[in-house]
Amino acid sequence: MRDKNILITGGLGFIGSHIANTLLENNNIVILDNLTTGNINNLNNPDNENLKIVKEDIRNINLDDLTSDIDYVFHLAAMASVPLSIDKPVECSDINLNATIKLLESCVKNDVEKIIFSSSSSVYGPNKNMPLKESEQPMPKSPYAASKASCELYLKAFNDSYGLNYTALRYFNVFGPGQDKNSQYAAVIPNFISSILEGVQPEIYGDGEQTRDFVYVKDVVKANINAAESDYNGIVNVASGEKLSVNQLYEIIKTTLNSDLEPEYLPERQGDIKHSLADVSNMIKINCKIDSKDFESQLIETVNWFKTIL
Q: State in angstroms the smallest separation of the CB of 103 from ligand NAD.
A: 11
Q: State in angstroms the smallest separation of the CB of 261 from ligand NAD.
A: 25
30 binds ligand NAD (CB under 6 A): no
40 binds ligand NAD (CB under 6 A): no
Interacting residue with ligand NAD among 21, 29, 38, 134 (CB under 6 A): 38
Using the contact rule CB under 6 A, the part of the chain among 7-15, 133-141, 191-199, 253-261 near ligand NAD is 7-15
144 is catalytic: yes
Q: What is the largest CA-CA distance in the chain?
A: 58
Residues 144, 216, 232, 250: which is the catalytic one?
Answer: 144
Mask 41-80, x = binds ligand NAD (CB under 6 A)?
----------------xxx----------------xxxxx
Using the contact rule CB under 6 A, the part of the chain among 22-30, 106-114, 131-139, 182-190 near ligand NAD is 182-190
143 binds ligand NAD (CB under 6 A): no
Interacting residue with ligand NAD among 21, 150, 173, 191 (CB under 6 A): 173
Number of residues that bind ligand NAD (CB under 6 A): 30
120 binds ligand NAD (CB under 6 A): yes
Could you please report the per-residue DSSP string of the chain? Answer: --S-EEEEETTTSHHHHHHHHHHTTTSEEEEE---SS--GGGSS-TT-TTEEEE---TTTS-HHHHHTT-SEEEE--S---HHHHHH-HHHHIIIIIIHHHHHHHHHHHTT-SEEEEEEEGGGGTT---SSBPTTSPP---SHHHHHHHHHHHHHHHHHHHH---EEEEEE-EEE-TT--TT-STTTHHHHHHHHHHHTPPPEEETTS--EE-EEEHHHHHHHHHHHHHS---EEEEES-S--EEHHHHHHHHHHHTT--PPPEEEPPPTT--SB--B--GGGGGGT----GGGHHHHHHHHHHHHHHH-
113 binds ligand NAD (CB under 6 A): no
Q: How far apart are CA 279 and CA 285, in angstroms?
A: 13
13 binds ligand NAD (CB under 6 A): yes
Interacting residue with ligand NAD among 19, 23, 53, 95 (CB under 6 A): 95
Q: State in angstroms the smallest separation of the CB of 48 from ligand NAD.
A: 18
Say what angle helices 99-109 and 143-162 make with each other, to 10 degrees: 20
Query: Cβ closer to ligand NAD: 182 or 201?
Result: 182
Residues marked as catalytic:
144
Which residues in this chain contact ligand NAD in the complex, by CB under 6 A?
10, 12-16, 32-38, 57-59, 76-80, 95, 118, 120, 171, 173-174, 183, 185-186
